[in-house]
Amino acid sequence: MVALDRTGRAIDSEGLSALVGRLEEEPPQRTAFVIGGAEGLDAAVLERARERLSLGAVTLPHQLARVVAAEQLYRALAIRAGLPYHR
């Protein structure tokens, strides 16, 4: 599990691509990206997370955070595949 939380570490697109690659290669090869609601994520969820990442210093509504996370994951996969999407 990767927790997307304001207290997580900032990461750029290339760093996320490298992380996705590492997660694809290490068991169990299944990863869930978890976004908290208005109150954030419970401490127990944060403790269980394999990684804790931040989408930035600004607060995003849950629905917008989902879109940003999806786009960043697509970008990370495009980088891994050598596609021209990321420039």
pTM for this structure? 0.87
Question: What is the rounded CA–CA span in Å between residue 69 and residue 5?
Answer: 12
Q: Is the separation of the CB atoms in 4 and 53 below 8 Å?
A: yes
Per-residue pLDDT, 38: 79
pLDDT in tens, 44-61: 999 999 999 999 888 888
Per-residue pLDDT, 62: 86
Question: Hey, what amino acid is at 29?
Answer: Q
Burial of 41 (0-12, 13-18, 19+ CB in 10 A): buried
Please report the domains of the chain, with CATH numbers, ordered by start residue.
2-81 (3.40.1280.10)
